[in-house]
Amino acid sequence: MSAPHLPKVAGIDPEVPVSTQTAAPLREIPAAPGAFIQDRLAGWVSDLTTLHELTERLAATATLDAALNELLHAGAALVGARRGLLVLERAGSTTPSTTLGLGLGPADLGHLETVERSATALGRILDGPPEAADARDGIATPDLLGDQDLDPRHREVATRLGYAASYALPLASEAAGRLGGAVWFYNEPGEPSEKQRHLVGLYARYATEHLARLTELERARADIATVADELLPSRLPRIPGVRLAARHRTGPQGGGDWYDALPLPDHALGLAVGSVGGSGPSAMAAMGRLRASLRAYAVMEGEDPVAVLSDLELLLRLTEPARTATALFAYCEPAARKVVLAGAGHTPPLILGDRRCEYVETTLSAPLGMLACWEAPSVEFSPAPGETVLLYTDGLLRRTGDAMDRAFARLHSAAASVPKAGRHDPAAVTDHVLRAMLPDGLDRSDSTEDVVVLAAHFD
C-alpha cells in the first residue's frame, strides 16, 4: 500500500521541504539607496567649492612672492598641516632658487639646509627624473622617526624642529614642466588621505601654471628695468661745490621718464629731467634718443637752456611728429651759485633750505611736440649755501593717487619735513621725500607710473 500524497496548494510544491528557520523581524527601515549618493555628491560639491575658493585666491595674486605664500598656506590647509617648505627652481634656469617657509623661522630653515638633499623627500622630488612616480604623485612619510633607514642628520633635525611626518609634492604640469616642490610637516605621525592627496594634486597643478606665468612676467619686468637703467646715467658726475643724488624706478611695462647730469665746460653742470609720452619698449627707445640728443645740444649751447629745448623740439617734430614729451633743463654754475633753467610742459623744481621751501616759478609752456615752434623764457635763481634743488617727474605725483594740486601740496610738505640733520645730504633728502610721498615704496607692483627724483645740493 503506497503512502498518501499531500494535497497540492497553489504556489506551494508539497515535495519541497519547508525551512524550519524564519527570518528575524524587520525592526528598521533601510535607507534608500539615493541617500548614500546624495551624501557623496554633497562631499564632492564641498570639495570642489573649497578648491575653487583656493584657486581664486591664488589667481588674485599679482607677484611671485604673494603666489608662493598663498600656495604654502592653501596646501597646508588641504593636507591638514601647519608647517611647510617650498623650493622654486626651474631645471636648466640661471635664475637662483627661491626658498620659502611656513611656520619656520630663518634658524629652522638653516637647520633643514644642513640635511643632505638626497636624504629628504623634497630633495628626491627636486633631483629625480620628472617621469618618476614620486615626482608625479608626491611622497608621504607617515612615521619619519620610526624609519630605521632615516639619515641620522635628518633624524636630528626632525627631533629638534618637532615634526614626525611629512608629505612632499612636486610643482609640475605638462605645459610648464617642473618648477620645484613643496613639503608639509606634521607634528604627529600621519599622512593625508587619498581625497586630500587628490585635491592638493589638482591645486598644485593649477598653481604651477600660475607660478610659471608670474615667473615669466617678473623676468620680463626685470629685463625692462635693466634696459631702462642702461639708458640712464651709470653714475653721477662730481662737480666742486655741488653734490648729486638720484632715484629712479621704471613701471612694469617700461616707461619714458628719464634724468641726466653732465659736466659742462668751465666747471658748469647740466641737469635735466623729462618724460616721453606712452609706455613700453617704444617709449623707452624714444626716451633714449631724446636724452642722447639733449646731451649733445647741452654741450654745444648749454648756457642757453631755451636754445637747448628749442633744438630738442625741432628734432622731435621732424623725426617723431606723433610723439610728445616734457623736459626741463638747468644750467648750473656752482661757483657763482647761479642756476638758469627752462621747462617744456614739465613740473617746476622745488628748492629746499633752512630758511625756505618753495617751488621755483617757471613760465607756463607747452610740452615738446605740441607746437610748431617751442620757445619760452628762461628763469634764473641763486641757491644759497646748504640749499637743495629737487627735480622730479610727474610720475612721483601721480603715484600718490591724489589730484595734482593735492599732490603738489603733499610734495611741498614732504620736502619741508626733511630733518635738519639730513638736509645737507642729497641722498637723505630724496629718500625722505620718497618715503613721505610713497609709504608703500617705489617697487609697488600695481603702479604703472615711472618715478624720477634728482637732487642737487649746493655746498
Q: What is the mean pLDDT of residues 23-52?
A: 69
Same domain, residue pair 138 and 254: no
Q: Is the dihedral of CA 442, 443, 444, 450 positive or negative?
A: positive
Whats the size of the chain, residue-wise? 459
* Count of the separate structural domains present in the chain: 2
Same domain, residue pair 250 and 208: no
C-alpha Rg value of the chain to the nearest Å: 36
Same domain, residue pair 79 and 203: yes
Evaluate whether residue 309 is within a structural domain. Answer: yes
> What is the per-residue pLDDT for 130?
64
How far apart (Å, rounded) are the C-alpha atoms in residues 154 and 114?
A: 9
Give the domain-ending residue among 154, 188, 223.
223
For residue 117, give the DSSP letter: G
Does residue 327 register a pLDDT over 50?
yes
Same domain, residue pair 241 and 388: yes
How far apart (Å, rounded) are the C-alpha atoms in residues 31 and 160?
A: 51
Give the domain-ending residue among 204, 223, 242.
223
Same domain, residue pair 250 and 323: yes
Evaluate whether residue 98 is within a structural domain. Answer: yes
Same domain, residue pair 247 and 329: yes
Evaluate whether residue 206 is within a structural domain. Answer: yes
Indicate the Cα dihedral angle 440, 443, 446, 448, nearest 10°: 120
Q: Beta strands 165-173 and 139-141: pairing type? A: antiparallel
Q: At 113, which CATH number?
A: 3.30.450.40
Could you give the residue ranges of the DSSP H alpha helices within 60-151? 64-79, 106-113, 121-127, 133-137
| Predicted confidence (pLDDT) per residue in 161-207, tens digit | 999 999 999 998 888 888 999 999 999 999 999 999 999 999 999 99
Could you give the percent of the chain with pLDDT greater than 90? 56
Domain holding 217, by residue range, is 54-223
Could you give the percent of the chain with pLDDT greater than 70? 86
Evaluate whether residue 18 is within a structural domain. Answer: no
Does residue 262 register a pLDDT over 90?
yes
Does residue 209 register a pLDDT over 80?
yes
Evaluate whether residue 39 is within a structural domain. Answer: no
Same domain, residue pair 310 and 279: yes
Q: ∠ CA 243-245-247 to the nearest 5 degrees?
A: 170
SS3 content of the chain, % helix, strand, coil (to 5): 40, 25, 35
Cell of 140: 608621504
Q: ∠ CA 105-110-114 to the nearest 5 degrees?
A: 150
Give the domain-ending residue among 198, 223, 248.
223
Does residue 27 register a pLDDT over 70?
no
> What is the per-residue pLDDT for 18?
46
In three-state secondary structure terms, 415 is: helix
The band of 261, judged by pLDDT with boundaries at 50, 70 and 90, is: very high
How far apart (Å, rounded) are the C-alpha atoms in residues 118 and 129?
A: 13
Same domain, residue pair 384 and 262: yes
